[in-house]
Amino acid sequence: MRKLLIYLKPQRKRIVCATLLMAISVLCNLALPTIMSSILDNGVYRSAVENTFPYTAKMCGVMLAVALVSLASVILGYRLTSRITTSFTRDLRSAIFHKVHTMTFEEMGKIGTGGLVTRSTHDAGTLAWVASMLSGNIFIIPLLFIGGVALCFSKDVTLSLIMLAMVPLVIVVVVLLGKKITPRWELSDKYCDRQNDIVRERIRGIRVIRAFNREPREHERIAEATHVMAENIIKANTTMALTVPMTTFVLHIAVLLIVLVGGIRIETGSDLTPGDVFAVIQYVELVLNALISASFAIIMFPHAKVAARRIGEVMDAEGTADLIPDEDIRFTGRIDFEDASFRYQGADQAALSHITLHINPGDKISVIGGTGSGKSTLVSLLLSFRQPTEGRVLFDGRDAKTISRKAIRRNISCALQKSMIYSGTVRENVQMGRMDASEEEIRQALDIAQLTDFISEQKDGIDYALEQSGTNLSGGQKQRLAIARCIIKDAPIYIFDDSFSALDFLTEAKLRTRLNSQFDGRTQIVITQRVTSAMNSDCIFVLDEGRLVGAGKHAELLKTCKIYREIFASQTGGGRK
């Protein structure tokens, strides 16, 4: 919790001002019962024997002025509190967002996408309530309680003791209710994450769900998660709502006893006046209102503690912070793997095992293998998404671990296996490869990627609007747009991770011809499962179950590599070419 509250530091001046304004309001509220008591004793009750109207009118004016000051202070105080809370939430969510970008894939997988969304929205909102409390209320509640008790004692000790006798009852109620609420919040937050995961999964896989008529099953899954979450939230809120009626009941008992005891004492000739009894009742209400506010804070604190712990799981993640200073270097395109291995956390076998290979600058390389052979893991090592658990990856003879990830990724342009398209326009998606690219360069990249015909058919051209995830594009169009984004970047190394799988053979052939012409002298690495995409490469590396089982040109591998022959035979019917 303390680590997260540092985001309140920039708001210190506003917090002080808000606290002072709220304190002024409390002092005014504490003064009002005393003024009313004076009006009753010196004005209303004496009006039968003398003219007290001028005094009553004067004190009513004073009371109105005090009330207006209190109102103005509250309005200004809550306005500042709102700004403090909003700024705190903004900064906290921004910090969570930036931290998520540095988390490892394992850390993301452990929390889950739904959990990350919930932590940056629901949990951050819960901590915003804490920020609201700290920006004034946490100091005002003690002031209201202590001031009310002190003024109550100044009126009458006996009636004040009746009020104080009720305080332990309120505390017991709050503690008992708080113990029941905490586990409810924890369970509801857990199923809120689950609900987000199911909704996200359902939206992404809606076509599969409909194709297999699985809508009823998906409804059951989301209904189950929603039911458990809603049930716990309802029970937690219902339990918390009991605080008000139970403390109000205690308040009414206190008022009843004060009126009874006060009436008896007035009848027996004590110095107590009806105005004093009225003032004590008002102070009792103020004090018990402070206790109610405190009880809500106590009850909500466990929920806030749960939210802080959940956000702390993100903020305390080790992540992949780039500790190596950035360098302005440009690779030649030479790449070496020296006995490199990689094992995913918790995996029984290595995804890549003792890979040794060499790529010269300007080579056109293909990496081929079946599903699960380690091709995409190889790309992850090249892009420094992950580091080898054994061995080394070198660029121009230099260990990748000694080069900043920013420098590595500046020198590599890639079209990854999943063609991620962002909402916006075609222009904006291509410019992600290079933000300062001119319109002519964008059109050239689109032309190389064989998208010119598609763009020319659109009324808005390269400003054609794309929906989220490119849902208004076909699979092949998505891949070609991702390729255009890749090739517009000026880099010595280009990686195409299964980027031609959705293209027909004619389109792929045209695209590869343009690529070879445009990037002659640049290192090209094509990750593929298709022999036709690899057979014209300068060198083909064959992976099988994480091991390098063959390397060479197409004709050589047909003679020397069994796995390559099997892949070739399965895709061509067994004929040799």
Looking at residue 225, its pLDDT comes to 79
Tokens representing 554 are 């197409």
Number of compact structural domains in the chain: 1
Residue 485, domain member (yes or no): no
For residue 321, is pLDDT > 70? no
Tokens representing 434 are 């290079």
129-140 per-position pLDDT tens digit: 777 776 666 777
Asked if 286 contacts 30 with a C-beta cutoff of 8 angstroms, the reply is yes
Tell me the average pLDDT across 245-264: 83
Residue 409, domain member (yes or no): no
For residue 109, is pLDDT > 70? yes
Please name the amino acid found at residue 220.
E
- Comparing CA positions, the residue from 549, 547, 551 lying closest to residue 341 is 547
Tell me the average pLDDT across 334-356: 90
Looking at residue 112, its pLDDT comes to 76
Helix (H, G, I), strand (E, B) or coil at 48: coil
463-495 per-position pLDDT tens digit: 999 987 888 888 888 999 999 999 999 999 999
28-53 per-position pLDDT tens digit: 888 888 888 888 877 776 665 566 77
**What sections of 119-156 are H helices per DSSP?**
124-132, 138-155
Please name the amino acid found at residue 148.
G
Domain with 204 in it: 2-313
Is 403 exposed, middle or buried, given 0-12, 13-18 or 19+ CB atoms closer than 10 A? buried
**Residue 495 and residue 104: Cα distance in Å, rounded?**
22
Strands 390-395 and 424-425: unpaired
Residue 83, domain member (yes or no): yes
Tokens 């032309």 correspond to what residue?
447
Residue 226 vs residues 188, 257, 408: alpha-carbon distances, Å: 9, 47, 44
Helix (H, G, I), strand (E, B) or coil at 10: helix
Tokens 């796995």 correspond to what residue?
563
Residue 75, domain member (yes or no): yes
Q: Tell how far CA 520 is from the center of its chain.
A: 43
For residue 244, is pLDDT > 80? no
Looking at residue 235, its pLDDT comes to 81
In the chain, % of residues over pLDDT 90: 24
299 or 59, greater pLDDT? 59
- Rg of the chain taking only CA atoms, in angstroms: 36
Residue 61, domain member (yes or no): yes
Asked if 508 contacts 500 with a C-beta cutoff of 8 angstroms, the reply is yes
**Residue 446 and residue 453: Cα distance in Å, rounded?**
10
**Residue 571 and residue 554: Cα distance in Å, rounded?**
14
Looking at residue 187, its pLDDT comes to 80
**Residue 331 and residue 362: Cα distance in Å, rounded?**
11
Tokens representing 571 are 């895709």
- Comparing CA positions, the residue from 414, 388, 410 lying closest to residue 401 is 388
Cβ contacts of residue 213 below 8 Å, gap of 6+?
none
**What's the mean per-residue pLDDT of the chain?**
84
Residue 19 vs residues 8, 16, 137, 298, 301: alpha-carbon distances, Å: 14, 5, 8, 20, 20
For residue 72, is pLDDT > 90? yes
Q: Tell how far CA 12 is from the center of its chain.
A: 25
Asked if 156 contacts 272 with a C-beta cutoff of 8 angstroms, the reply is yes
| DSSP string of 359-376, one letter each residue | E-TT-EEEEEE-TTSSHH
Angle at which helices 157-204 and 243-267 pack, to 10 degrees? 170
Most trustworthy range by pLDDT among 175-184, 311-320, 441-450, 499-508: 441-450
Tell me the average pLDDT across 102-124: 79
- Comparing CA positions, the residue from 208, 192, 186 lying closest to residue 112 is 192
Tokens representing 45 are 């009750």
Residue 198, domain member (yes or no): yes
Give the confidence band of 322 by pLDDT, cuts at 50, 70, 90.
Answer: low
153-200 per-position pLDDT tens digit: 888 888 888 888 888 887 787 777 777 777 787 787 777 777 777 777
| DSSP string of 195-209, one letter each residue | HHHHHHHHHHTHHHH
Asked if 281 contacts 94 with a C-beta cutoff of 8 angstroms, the reply is no
Tell me the average pLDDT across 301-325: 79
Tell me the average pLDDT across 294-299: 72
475 or 318, greater pLDDT? 475
Helix (H, G, I), strand (E, B) or coil at 522: coil
Phi, psi of 365 (to 5 degrees): -110, 145
Is 122 exposed, middle or buried, given 0-12, 13-18 or 19+ CB atoms closer than 10 A? middle
**Residue 561 and residue 544: Cα distance in Å, rounded?**
11
Residue 372 vs residues 352, 353, 546: alpha-carbon distances, Å: 10, 13, 8
Residue 130, domain member (yes or no): yes
Tokens representing 160 are 């004040």
Asked if 485 contacts 429 with a C-beta cutoff of 8 angstroms, the reply is yes
Tell me the average pLDDT across 13-36: 87
Residue 387, domain member (yes or no): no
Tokens 């009371």 correspond to what residue?
63
Q: Would you tell me how many other CB atoms lie within 10 Å of the CB of residue 495? A: 23
Looking at residue 410, its pLDDT comes to 92
**Residue 84 and residue 127: Cα distance in Å, rounded?**
12
Give the confidence band of 1 by pLDDT, cuts at 50, 70, 90.
Answer: low
The one-character DSSP state at 326 is: P
**Residue 241 and residue 44: Cα distance in Å, rounded?**
39
Tell me the average pLDDT across 512-540: 89
CATH number of the domain that residue 278 is part of: 1.20.1560.10
Looking at residue 407, its pLDDT comes to 92
Q: Tell how far CA 75 is from the center of its chain.
A: 31
Enclosing H/E stretch for 341: strand 335-342
Tell me the average pLDDT across 549-553: 92
